[in-house]
Amino acid sequence: MVRLPYLTALTTLFSYGLLFAFGQIRDFFRKILDWPKSKDLKGYAPICLGLEDFYTRRLYLRIQDCFGRPIASAPDSRIDVVERFSTDNNKTLQRTINTTSCINLGSYNYLGFAAADEYCTPLVIESLKKYSPSTCSVRVDGGTTKLHAEAEELVARFVGKPAAITFGMGYVTNSAIIPVLMGKVSVFQSSFGKSQGGLIISDTLNHNSIVNGARASGATIRVFQHNSPSHLEEVLREQIAEGQPRTHRPWKKIIVVVEGIYSMEGELCNLPEIIAVCKKYKAYTYLDEAHSIGAIGKTGRGVCELLGVDTADVDIMMGTFTKSFGSCGGYIAASKEIIQYLKYTCPAHIYATSMSPPAVQQVISSIKVILGEDGSNRGAQKLTCIRENSNFFRSELKKMGFEVLGDNDSPVMPIMLYNPAKIPAFSRECLRQNVAIVTVAFPATPLLLARARICISASHTREDLIKSLEVISRVGDLVGIKYFPVENEKAQALKKVD
């Protein structure tokens, strides 16, 4: 959890205050100057209105060249970034035919499967020729191929659950499944009726897909402090004692939702302690392993394997194929009864076009490489490499004096920037020195907690990492984001004390 220093908070608030003040002043004079030629809406209300519109126009557009950069290559250890320019102060950006080759520290290519692979790529090309890019149908009609059935069996075996179901988009996997689990009919309750009596307890830093899924479910929502089993227990005890709003009847079901690795924090979930609390109060556990499955654990089986948790203790396991497997889509793994129920009732399964067959083949092939079923040990080598690369890079960043969030073994490592002026400065300067980095700001993070998020890959060589560290260190000195003493300075200070 970020502990924001008072001075940093004050200067950051002052910077945002200036931006908001000047933005309001510009809007005021713009209304006066544009009044004679203002458009007549003929009684219609403006579509774009409010704080979000102001934030986009007066803050985001000023630095939009730092976001949404087009690429012209596979997202491997290096990436070709398309160069852009603006002739209207960043309101619009024009692409050029030029590209810049950069070390890629932004993509979720944890195991390096996003680029051409000696085992996966030929099988994917073969599936493309056999099945075409799309099934042009939903799963319950003509959209289920042999590949889909094989992938679901393989995913279930890989994560250690009896059954699994796949979806074409990772975001939809959460946002569509949670309402079904809390909806009119559920395997957790025997009666038919309205969506009442369900309680979702969610970590405060859960992904937006979980937040929107919970809101769409119609269930009562409570949050607990990030990664705090003790506060989770307080919330559970309080809610069980109070019961449902107004009626105070007992809850029909309670689901606790957490993530394996928190995507904006790089932190591992305190899963053993959370599982213990859920068992104590008879609450179900929903685990989002989007960033952890395939990337951590001795054999790549995620946070459960890393922390020694029996997958039988996790009721519903969710994950995506976009990070470690170099594909697209997501999955839910659970008991056979739950999976069968989802196949009958989930709109994302019944109404959405099924996963592209080549994407499904990529999932199958990459998991087989991880399991060693391709006849090689490349999967084990990739897992060793991602772990060593992640821990090396995180350790070196901390030695340089950066404020780095997250835990060891996590391939996600945010570097705190805080001040809004440092967001574009850090991003642009890194790109100028051929290192592609993702910067993240409001609304993806709290307003005062802007950061750069680095994602490490098994495809990175040690030379790539060292070159990136040198660039980040230089840019960090230039921008002023080394909030802690450098390790050498720490040692010298300790010697003086002794």
Element (H, E) at 414: strand 412-418
Burial grade of 281 (CB within 10 A; 0-12, 13-18, 19 or more): middle
Residue 494 scores a pLDDT above 70: no
pLDDT band at 177, cuts 50/70/90?
very high
Whole-number percent of the chain with pLDDT over 90: 83
Q: What is the pLDDT of residues 271-326, one digit of tens each?
A: 999 999 999 999 999 999 999 999 999 999 999 999 999 999 999 999 999 999 99
Only one residue has tokens 């009442």, namely: 196
The predicted structure's pLDDT at residue 189: 41
Mean pLDDT of 388-397: 97
Q: Give yes or no for a contact between 487 and 399, defined as CB atoms under 8 angstroms apart.
A: yes
Q: What is the pLDDT of residues 330-380, one digit of tens each?
A: 999 999 999 999 999 999 999 999 999 999 999 999 999 999 999 999 999
Dmax over Cα atoms in the chain, in whole Å? Answer: 77
Least confident of 152-166, 436-450, 455-469: 436-450
Angle between the N-to-C axes of helices 378-400 and 487-497, in degrees from 0 to 180, rounded to the nearest 10: 50
Residue 114 scores a pLDDT above 90: yes
Q: What is the pLDDT of residues 96-113, one digit of tens each?
A: 999 999 999 999 999 999
* Dist CA 464 CA 78 (whole Å): 9
The predicted structure's pLDDT at residue 3: 78
Examine residue 443 and say whether the peptide bond preceding it is cis (omega within 30 degrees of 0): yes
Mean pLDDT of 54-61: 90
Least confident of 17-31, 168-182, 383-397, 483-497: 483-497
Residue 96 corresponds to which tokens in the numbers above? Answer: 């050029």
* Dist CA 219 CA 380 (whole Å): 42
Residue 254 scores a pLDDT above 80: yes
Strand boundaries in 24-181, DSSP class E: 78-85, 94-104, 163-167
pLDDT band at 37, cuts 50/70/90?
low
The predicted structure's pLDDT at residue 81: 97
Nearest to 436 by CA among 477, 467, 396: 467
At a CB cut-off of 8 Å and minimum separation 6, what does 191 contact? none
Give me the sheet containing 412-418, strands edge to edge: 412-418, 450-455, 438-440
Residue 190 scores a pLDDT above 80: no
Q: Strand, helix or coil at 35?
A: coil
The predicted structure's pLDDT at residue 491: 53
The predicted structure's pLDDT at residue 31: 82
Residue type for 304, please?
C
Residue 152 scores a pLDDT above 70: yes
The predicted structure's pLDDT at residue 39: 63
pLDDT band at 187, cuts 50/70/90?
very low
Residue 135 scores a pLDDT above 60: yes
The predicted structure's pLDDT at residue 1: 66
Provide long-range contacts, Cβ within 8 A and 24+ apart, for 250-254: 251/197, 251/198, 251/199, 252/188, 252/189, 252/196, 252/197, 252/198, 253/182, 253/186, 253/188, 253/189, 253/197, 253/198, 253/199, 253/284, 254/198, 254/199, 254/200, 254/201, 254/281, 254/282, 254/283, 254/284
DSSP state, residue 4: -
The predicted structure's pLDDT at residue 183: 78
* Dist CA 410 CA 37 (whole Å): 55
